[in-house]
Amino acid sequence: MKIEDKIQFGEYNWRVLAIQGNTALIITDKIIEQRSYHNEYIEITWADSSLREYLNTEFYDRFSEAEKARIVPVINKNPDNPWFGTLGGRDTEDKIFIPSLEELACKYFGDSSALLYNPKKNQRYWYERKDANNSKRIAIDEVKKFWWYWIRTPGRFSVKAVYVFPDGNIGIHGNNIKIGNVADGYCAGGVRPLMWITME
């Protein structure tokens, strides 16, 4: 198994982002579904979000016992929003999660830290449309439609969460955490889960 390999695990196809010893960090190759970040429009962080609960219970339970045995729980840091100072919340132990802003902008999809930590004057909503790494963050859903997806970092306020726009640019100001259900005709955010697994 190598970085950038595509593998099947459970019902989904995944991309390998990193390897540490005998474990690999994988992310779904596509946006697998659309959901709200939280089921209420209240101030929230990743630690207490309904999306985190869903991924670590209902979604996790879709895997077989043999697959679950390969999923490695990790302690995730949840940094504050670097532009607005919105609190990221406590550290979390997650079996399955979504990327943080730093993981997405600086670590696993190219290093854009110079842009992240040096915002331009009056830059408040979009990250950087001309960032060369934007193309690495683009994702499509199961019907091959470009869509936006959630990041676990809070937006400008704690009722928003950062997200990746369909062109790979980062909406660092954030989208409202409760947007509605697709069945009701609303546009919910895409979900691209990550997890660490042991390599066979």
The pTM assigned to this predicted structure is 0.91
Please give the radius of gyration of the chain, using alpha carbons only, rounded to the nearest integer.
16
Using the structure block, give the residue that is written with the tokens 């209420």.
40
Residue 99: name the closest of 142, 128, 130, 139 by CA: 139
pLDDT digits (tens, 9 = 90+) for 5-39: 999 999 999 999 999 999 999 999 999 998 999 98
Q: Regarding predicted confidence, which is higher, 71 or 144?
A: 71
pLDDT at 124: 64
